[in-house]
Amino acid sequence: MCGIVGYVGKRPVQDLLLAGLKKLEYRGYDSAGISVIAGDEIESLRAVGNLQNLFEAVAAREADDGGVAVAVQTATTGIGHTRWATHGRVNESNAHPHFDTSNAVHVVVNGIVENYVALKRRLQDMGAVFTSETDAEVIAHLVAHHCALGSLEDAVLAAFNELEGHFAFVAMRLDEPDKLVGVRKECPLVVGRGDGETFLASAIPAFLSETRRTQYIENDEIVVITPDDVRFLGPDGSEHEREVEEIDWDEETAEKGGFDTFMLKEIHEQADAIADTVADRTAPGTHVDLDDVGALDENMLRGIDRILITGCGTAYHAGLMGRYALEEWAQIRTEIDVASEYRYRKQLVGPGDLVIGMTQSGETADTLAAMRAAHEAGATVLAVTNVVGSQATRDADGVLYTRAGLEIGVAATKTFVCQVAVMYLLALKLAELRGTMKPATMERIVGEIKRLPHSVQEVIAAATDPDTGLPAGPVAEAAERHWQADFFLYLGRHIGLAVALEGALKLKEISYISTDAYAAGEMKHGPIALLEDGTPVVVVATDSPVKDKVVSNMQEVAARGAHVIAVAAESDHEIDEHAKQVLRVPDVDWMLQPLLGTIPLQLLAYAIASRRGLNVDQPRNLAKTVTVE
């Protein structure tokens, strides 16, 4: 995911920007760049790939061009960025900083500008010349256009009020060399206060080695920084006061963004991760864009007879959710198997079949072997992965990337929700091509997918403490009640079964509590024998055509003394009669509710494991990437 760093002060800015970007590397990126105010020019350098390439470009400029190099080395104002591509390919012209036509305003942007198409058209009509395929560039031109208003902050304020989406950006202007103006709308941005110098960054580690004094920027605020002063403005231009806070984090806590663990941080990053994953595939309009997926062009997709999904662990569960979406929306025959089994089955696939390898790392040995076996049998193979350049991307005929950023916690969270989001997009695309969904339904569901980041944020906000980010509310109550249990049963039907399986896997992975996850209708053929008074049973009871059946199963387990924890829609009040605790998700389309339902279950597992005093980031015996069979 993208990173921002900016500086105004008295020290040479270039080294500070490069050091800051290095500290943000852990977020994952595919290109990087910096711009500094060097005398009467803004000098910029951008490079694709590892930061090392940017360092080498800087070194080459120093060796090549004495004049520019000296001006850059003495520059004291600048901005830097690591980009994780969303709109537009990974190349130098799409890397940030972006700039306006006269090269007088440079910006670095995280997040998504949803209305960039309309704004771009308007700015082009006024003569703006665009040089990238990104949504971010529109901000540079828009701010430059509004500079006629006077100051950079006036221009940014006017631009902010025209922009839709969720983003954070920092703007720099040649005519006001000792100033940066930043904006925060749902994406993170913080101020670092030094002595005669000020930093702006998307995360504290970017400046932690330089200063521990910080000021937090609120949502929808504009911040104006100069070497000695910081002003906070509301969208109406009103000034806000802000305390300076001293950070007592060490480097490791800083990398965790202030959260207790990487897993908790990654749970909280899920809204941004989904936004980055779906953004370039859904905007603008209701059309799902799956261009750029290698051999999987529209002709190929139209001709698919059957889909087979394979993967391991959490990725397998994401695939299972995808199967229901593919069947429900695209009405396409879809099978799924764990990779360690599929690779040794008789390969009855061939041309016309699409085999999808789900693997966040792109390196899981069994998944790679299953994909190869399918490929050799003649199927077209698609990789769904989070890692650019991983083995899966090299072996597959096409790649659909999730954009979750680096995931460090061994138990997958944000990569899972992004895998599910990608499967939803694929199912919608196939539905569009096969004409299996009414246009009005398509429009509604694509709209809800675009709003998924907001829905995810709603679920997280309702289930966590606003100060610590720790599980709170009904999730924390359920954890407090059951953290000593030695067994949990998880039940679900249809797509809700996949949520139950994933919820149970999360709990066993990090809390070491024995779990069983079952198709709710099958429960009476076995697991019902395990129920005792007070046995915790998690039931996924989100809206669906089989919800009444699920409610019957809740009654069956309650009648045997089980303590039911239900996952249900916000407006479903009836469910309270059948459950001791209800974990709520927003009233989105019934096929999307299950994705949201996995989040309180991640937090439930987290709360229980923490209560048991366990290391959630590195559970015993488990590995993040399993490169052995």
Using CB under 6 A as the binding rule, whether residue 273 contacts ligand G6P is answered as no
Q: Structure tokens of 497?
A: 């079964």
Closest separation in Å from C-beta 497 to ligand G6P: 18
The candidate with the shortest Cα–Cα distance to 131, out of 98, 90, 87, is 98
CB of residue 619 vs ligand G6P: minimum separation in angstroms? 8
Q: Provide the 3-class DSSP secondary structure of residue 186.
A: strand
383 vs 568 by CB, closer to ligand G6P: 383
User: Which is closer to ligand G6P, CB of 198 or CB of 359?
Assistant: 359
Residue 180: enclosing H or E segment and its boundaries?
strand 180-185
Tokens at residue 611, please? 């209560």
Between residues 211 and 310, which has the closer beta carbon with respect to ligand G6P?
310
**Which of 286, 367 has the CB closer to ligand G6P?**
367
Write out the binding residues for ligand G6P, residues 37-56 only, by CB under 6 A.
none
- Residue 390 beta carbon to ligand G6P: minimum distance, rounded to whole angstroms: 9
Please, are residues 226 and 179 in contact by the beta-carbon 8 Å criterion?
Answer: yes
Verify whether residue 2 is a known catalytic residue: yes
Q: How far apart are the first and last CA of the chain?
A: 30
Among 364, 380, 515, 593, binds ligand G6P (CB under 6 A): 364
Minimum CB–partner distance for residue 415 and ligand G6P (Å): 7
Give the one residue of 202, 361, 515, 610 binding ligand G6P; rule: CB under 6 A. 361
Phi-psi region of 493 (alpha: psi -120 to 50; beta: other; left: phi over 0): beta
CA distance 162 to 167: 13
Residue ranges in 291-330 that form contacts with ligand G6P under rule CB under 6 A = 312-315
Segment 387-426, which members bind ligand G6P (CB under 6 A)?
Answer: 410-412
- Closer to ligand G6P at the Cβ: 286 or 361? 361
Which 134-193 positions form the footprint of ligand G6P (CB under 6 A)? none
The answer for residues whose C-beta is within 8 angstroms of residue 305's C-beta and 6 or more apart is 333, 352, 353
Q: Are 502 and 314 in contact (CB under 8 A)?
A: yes
Counting contacts by CB under 6 A, is residue 507 touching ligand G6P? no
Is there binding between residue 625 and ligand G6P (CB under 6 A)?
yes
Q: Does 624 bind ligand G6P (CB under 6 A)?
A: yes
Concerning whether 624 is annotated as a catalytic residue, the answer is yes
Catalytic residue among 2, 187, 312, 418: 2
Please answer whether residues 591 and 452 qualify as being in contact, where contact means their C-beta atoms are separated by less than 8 angstroms. Answer: no
359 binds ligand G6P (CB under 6 A): yes
> Counting contacts by CB under 6 A, is residue 515 touching ligand G6P?
no
Cβ closest to ligand G6P, residue 169 vs residue 316:
316
Size of the site for ligand G6P (CB under 6 A): 16
Region of residue 289 (phi > 0: left; psi between -120 and 50: alpha; otherwise: beta):
beta
Count the neighbouring beta carbons within 10 Å of the beta carbon of residue 530.
Answer: 15
CB nearer to ligand G6P: give 4 or 505: 505
- CA dihedral of 362, 264, 203, 22, whole degrees rounded to 10: -40
Least CB distance from residue 363 to ligand G6P, whole Å? 6
Minimum CB distance to ligand G6P, residue 414 (Å): 11
Structure tokens at 526: 């076995």
Asked if residues 309 and 453 have their Cβ atoms less than 8 Å apart, the reply is no
Contacts of 277 (CB under 8 A, 6+ apart): 401, 402, 403, 404, 418, 421, 422
Does 360 bind ligand G6P (CB under 6 A)? Our answer is yes
For the CB of residue 625, give the shortest distance to ligand G6P in the complex, in Å.
5
Query: Using the rule CB under 6 A, is 371 a contact of ligand G6P?
Result: no
Single out the residue of 614, 571, 600, 616 nearest to residue 477, CA to CA: 600
Do 352 and 305 contact (CB within 8 A), yes or no? yes
Residues that bind ligand G6P (CB under 6 A): 312-315, 359-361, 364, 367, 410-412, 622, 624-626
Give the residue numbers marked as catalytic.
Answer: 2, 624
